[in-house]
């Protein structure tokens, strides 16, 4: 009976390993297909795009906004409100135009760096693949090493802490992916309503780039403006920009705290506080790690309180 039970456990373990290997392989195949198709689409778009013409269109768009603001100022001046700000608006328009032209023409300077980034990504994906495929063996090696170096009691505590970190990270990544899917859908619908060309594709790219703080909003903004200008109706770029600002605020204030907070078992208010504190202290990198670190600190505080109350076993 015991022998049959052990054989059953062994069969289940082998089945889990096999399923994970199949899932890992399928995930990598999907990633490479998406990267390949996205690369072809981007290369085709860049090959057909005229950077100088695009820079001129963006500059004209900024000047048009400046003209609208000047007209608004004239109307306000007639009412005696906000007089003599034409100089400020003109300076803003000129500076914005020059900055846009420099940024568009400076894109070519980053092209040689793309090759190095692709190599780094490929190496990282390869290493991650082997780690996932040989997960049990690596964990056993680490366990044996920890037992020899620290002993059983410390190893047990390390294992408990590692499991806690693993659960928080998995929950955080799951929440981020859910947020990215929601934002991709919202962006796609918004861009399609506005009438941007390739609205669904641009929405998907903008939504999943939203996984990276600041970068996602910047990518969505640039893609929307470029698509709006290339469509021949610059007003679409303005509408898309306004929608992006609104959606980003909704995402920051409501979606992220609700979705990600639920995944890591944190109250939405604590999620916002973590983002505010770590973002203030460490900037961009602080925003990247704010939620998982905040969740770990929150869990540690709960564990400490329960330990003091005697309702939790000591590690």
Average pLDDT over residues 244-252: 87
**Highest-pLDDT range among 8-12, 30-34, 183-187:** 183-187
Between these two residues, 285 and 65, which has the higher pLDDT value? 285
Statement: residue 216 has pLDDT above 50:
yes
Q: Which of 67-71, 82-86, 171-175, 198-202 has the lowest mean pLDDT?
A: 82-86
Between these two residues, 233 and 292, which has the higher pLDDT value? 292
| Distance in angstroms (rounded) separating the CA atoms of residues 195 and 205 | 17
Handedness of CA 196, 198, 199, 203 (dihedral sign): negative
Statement: residue 201 has pLDDT above 60:
yes
Tokens of 57: 């269109």
List helix spans (H) across 151-267: 152-194, 199-209, 215-230, 234-250, 256-263
Going by the DSSP 8-state scheme, the letter that residue 206 receives in this structure is H
- pLDDT for residue 185: 92
Contact assessment for residue 289 and residue 278, using Cβ atoms and an 8 Å cutoff: yes
Between these two residues, 186 and 22, which has the higher pLDDT value? 186
Average pLDDT over residues 279-293: 83
Q: What tens digit of pLDDT does each residue of 153-166 get? A: 888 888 888 888 88
| Distance in angstroms (rounded) separating the CA atoms of residues 184 and 210 | 9
| Distance in angstroms (rounded) separating the CA atoms of residues 135 and 129 | 10
What is the pLDDT of the chain when averaged over all its residues? 74
DSSP reduced 3-state for 265: coil
pLDDT-derived band at 220, boundaries 50, 70, 90: confident
Map out the domains of the chain as residue ranges.
Answer: 1-48, 51-133, 135-315
The reported pTM is 0.63
- pLDDT for residue 194: 86
- pLDDT for residue 118: 66
- pLDDT for residue 127: 74
Q: Which of 63-67, 85-89, 205-209, 251-255 has the lowest mean pLDDT?
A: 85-89
| Distance in angstroms (rounded) separating the CA atoms of residues 220 and 204 | 10
- pLDDT for residue 182: 92
């Amino acid at each position: 009976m015991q022998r049959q039970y052990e054989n059953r456990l062994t069969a289940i373990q082998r089945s889990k390993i096999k399923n994970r290997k199949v899932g890992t392989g399928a995930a990598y195949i999907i990633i490479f297909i998406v990267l390949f198709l996205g690369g072809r689409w981007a290369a085709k778009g860049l090959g057909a795009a005229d950077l100088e013409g695009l820079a001129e269109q963006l500059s004209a768009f900024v000047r048009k906004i400046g003209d609208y603001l000047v007209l608004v100022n004239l109307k306000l001046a007639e009412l005696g409100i906000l007089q003599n700000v034409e100089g400020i608006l003109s300076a803003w328009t000129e500076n914005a135009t020059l900055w846009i032209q420099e940024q568009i023409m400076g894109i070519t300077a980053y092209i040689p760096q793309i090759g190095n980034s692709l190599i780094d990504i490929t190496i990282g994906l390869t290493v991650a693949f082997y780690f996932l495929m040989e997960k049990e063996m690596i964990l056993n090696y680490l366990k044996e090493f920890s037992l020899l170096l620290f002993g059983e009691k410390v190893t047990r505590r390390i294992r408990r802490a590692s499991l806690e970190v693993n659960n928080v990270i998995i929950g955080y990544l799951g929440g981020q992916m859910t947020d990215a899917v929601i934002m991709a859908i919202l962006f796609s619908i918004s861009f399609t309503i506005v009438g941007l060309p390739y609205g669904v594709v641009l929405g998907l790219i903008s939504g999943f780039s939203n996984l990276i703080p600041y970068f996602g909003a910047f990518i969505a903004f640039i893609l929307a403006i470029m698509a709006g200008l290339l469509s021949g109706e610059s007003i679409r770029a303005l509408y898309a920009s306004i929608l992006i600002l609104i959606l980003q605020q909704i995402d920051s204030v409501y979606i992220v705290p609700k979705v990600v907070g639920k995944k890591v078992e944190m109250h939405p208010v604590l999620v916002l506080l973590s983002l505010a504190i770590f973002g203030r202290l460490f900037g961009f990198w602080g925003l990247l790690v704010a939620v998982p670190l905040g969740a770990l600190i929150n869990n540690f505080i709960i564990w400490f309180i329960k330990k003091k109350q005697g309702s939790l076993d000591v590690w």
